[in-house]
């Protein structure tokens, strides 16, 4: 199924969703993210069943994240596919722990599992997603610290050659 077909399939529901105050639809081409952080609790009672309508479409896959639902318009076009494609394009060998992936939603989980399967590091920001083997960090500041730590560990030999200490 093409992204255009997927979009057409859910267009009526998307129109209803977009009419709810506080929703923000982000069209990424291959997916649509429904951001609902600013939706009032009363309006959430309307939004929930509409998202459930989308979720029930067998041709569509939906991933949950913090105050966002990401609707995949093309089956199989997940972040893991993008990560693998990027590695191929860059001629980067991700095996042997040479890749780090961080994310905070269910769709990021597919890429985290892919990175872990290549002995890489996955950083889950917040309580989601629950991916076996992923290192959980509490938020953006903790993520930045974890990335600094990983960069320090992987670059220690080079830093020592230059006479600098990794802090």
pLDDT in tens, 83-116: 999 999 999 999 888 899 998 877 788 899 999 9
H helices, E strands: number in the chain? 5, 7
Residue 106 has a CB neighbour count (10 Å cut-off) of 21
Reported in sequence order, the residue ranges of 36-76 that DSSP labels E, i.e. its strands, are 61-65, 68-72
Report the pLDDT value the prediction gives residue 18, as an integer from 0 to 100.
96
Q: pLDDT per residue over 120-146, tens digit each?
A: 999 999 876 688 999 999 989 999 999
Task: Quickly state the pLDDT bin for 74 (edges 50, 70, 90).
Answer: confident
Cβ–Cβ < 8 Å for 66, 105:
yes
What the block records as the tokens of 76 is 């199989």
DSSP symbols for 126-161: SS----TTPEEE-SHHHHHHHHHHHHHHHHHHHHHH
User: Does 160 have pLDDT greater than 60?
Assistant: no
How much is the pLDDT for 164?
A: 54
**Which pLDDT score, from 0 to 100, does residue 73 have?**
86
């Amino acid at each position: 199924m093409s992204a255009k077909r997927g979009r057409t399939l859910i267009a009526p529901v998307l129109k209803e969703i977009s009419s709810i105050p506080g929703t923000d639809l982000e069209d990424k081409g291959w997916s649509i993210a429904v951001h609902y952080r600013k939706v009032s609790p009363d309006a959430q009672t309307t939004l929930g069943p509409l998202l459930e309508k989308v979720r029930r479409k067998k041709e569509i896959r939906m991933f949950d994240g913090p105050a966002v639902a990401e609707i995949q318009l093309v089956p199989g076009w997940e972040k893991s596919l993008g990560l693998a494609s990027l590695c191929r394009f860059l001629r980067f060998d991700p095996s042997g722990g040479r890749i780090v992936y961080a994310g905070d939603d269910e769709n990021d989980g597919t890429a985290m599992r892919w990175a872990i399967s290549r002995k890489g590091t996955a950083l889950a920001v917040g309580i989601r997603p629950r991916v076996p083997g992923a290192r959980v960090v509490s938020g953006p500041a903790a993520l930045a610290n974890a990335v600094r730590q990983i960069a320090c560990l992987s670059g220690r030999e080079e830093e020592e050659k230059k006479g600098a200490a990794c802090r």
